[in-house]
Amino acid sequence: MPVINSLAEAADEITQWRRDFHRNPELLYDVPRTAKVVADKLRAFGCDEVVEGIGRSGVVGIIRGRGEGDRGIGLRADMDALPIEEESGKPWRSETPGKMHACGHDGHMAMLLGAARYLAETRNFAGRAVIVFQPAEEGGAGARAMIEDGLMERFAISEIYGLHNMPGIPVGQFGIRPGPLMAATDNFVIQIEGKGSHAAKPHAGVDPVLVGSQIVNALQSVASRNVDPLKSAVVSVTTFHAGDTFNVIPQRGTLKGTVRTLDPGIRDLVERRMNELVPTIGQAFGARARLDYQRHYPVTVNHEEQTHKAAAVAREIAGEGAVTENTPPLMAGEDFSYMLEARPGAFIFLGNGDSAGLHHPAYDFNDGAAPYGASYLARLVETGMPA
């Protein structure tokens, strides 16, 4: 079946919800207005249960189907925005300086609300639809917080699904793959302690700029010489600070950066090699170099059975030729990875057309994608738990 008729007819209303979220962005766990709007709408739709404050500020709605069944399928949308000054120029642009929905979470919420209303009205399934609105995807690990707060057990979730809009994929098309879809995201800080001196007497000091430069070069060998070339790793040094003036060799320097991997074994390898290289290079130049390696989101790994189910539903909505089941993985991160570690499920990309990129100040969610995303989410429940 194509896009669900009632959701196509509700497109203007879903757009209004989305643009209201867009005008009123909130960050991380501090989403009181957003969470209230979501909870109020879920209650108005007739959800059987609405629970607030899961994982600090998450919202969960329960919709019971007409048929008997003890399974629960979770559908998740993220709620938080980004600390970016918007430059889209849209009439519905952010009204909060320094904050904007630059990743399309406003669209994700609107689509899930549309699906929730449809499911609450029709209830053409057996079991429970668990509607999950999650805070703090943008670096705050809100998915992990909800899981630690009992999300999966309390609401008896058997499988869980999420989606993300994707610029560059045409509207009305989907992309998915089994296995790793998005990368583990780790950060690192390297502190270098040298010996300050006058710039005209470099022999009297230990230059942390030189030491840091050698470390930057050496770290590039990890991906190019230690990682299997058929696998993927990114090691990027993104800040390098040492000193503040022309004629002083500084006492210390700091490097910061990120590591992205698609395989847990490669993740371990990169961290191990960095721990070997950094202090050794510092010592070789007479300095002390210390690595603080910080693991963040794990790899987003789609379960094979649920990936095929999700792709089949997407084909029902968009057509046979509009779903790519071997879309290339991305080295960006996503905390839905925690949910996929906790339960079987799948994450899919939904086309946002020729828009500005994610996290760009001119980005805006394409409202034309909403009927496809909302229909996909609703049909996951109906096909996964037939009445």
What confidence tens digit (pLDDT) does each residue in 135-164 have?
999 999 999 999 999 999 999 999 999 999
The range of the structural domain enclosing residue 151 comes to 5-182+299-384
pLDDT of residue 188: 98
Query: How many domains, the chain?
Result: 2
The last residue of one of the domains, among 262, 294, 326, is: 294
Is the model more confident about 69 or about 204? Answer: 204
Domain shared by 71 and 155, yes or no: yes
Domain shared by 342 and 352, yes or no: yes
Domain shared by 282 and 353, yes or no: no
Q: What mean pLDDT value characterizes the chain?
A: 97
Cα–Cα dist 356/350, whole Å? 15
Dihedral sign for Cα atoms in the order 317, 322, 325, 330? negative
Identity at 369, one-letter amino acid code: A
What confidence tens digit (pLDDT) does each residue in 116-140 have?
999 999 999 999 999 999 999 999 9
Domain shared by 247 and 313, yes or no: no
The last residue of one of the domains, among 272, 294, 316, is: 294
Domain shared by 141 and 11, yes or no: yes
Single pTM value for the model: 0.95
Cα–Cα dist 31/272, whole Å? 38
83 pLDDT higher than 80 = yes
pLDDT of residue 69: 86
1 pLDDT higher than 70 = no
What confidence tens digit (pLDDT) does each residue in 18-75 have?
999 999 999 999 999 999 999 999 999 999 999 999 999 999 999 999 988 889 999 9
**Residue 147: beta bridge partners?**
none
Does 325 count as an annotated binding residue? no
Domain shared by 200 and 77, yes or no: no
What confidence tens digit (pLDDT) does each residue in 322-358 have?
999 999 999 999 999 999 999 999 999 999 999 999 9
What confidence tens digit (pLDDT) does each residue in 161-198 have?
999 999 999 999 999 999 999 999 999 999 999 999 99
The last residue of one of the domains, among 294, 321, 348, is: 294
CATH number of the domain to which 283 belongs: 3.30.70.360
β-strand pairing of 184-193 with 252-261: antiparallel
Does 105 count as an annotated binding residue? yes
- CA-wise closest residue to 144 among 335, 353, 320, 319: 335
Does 203 count as an annotated binding residue? no
Domain shared by 92 and 240, yes or no: no
- CA-wise closest residue to 110 among 79, 136, 135: 79
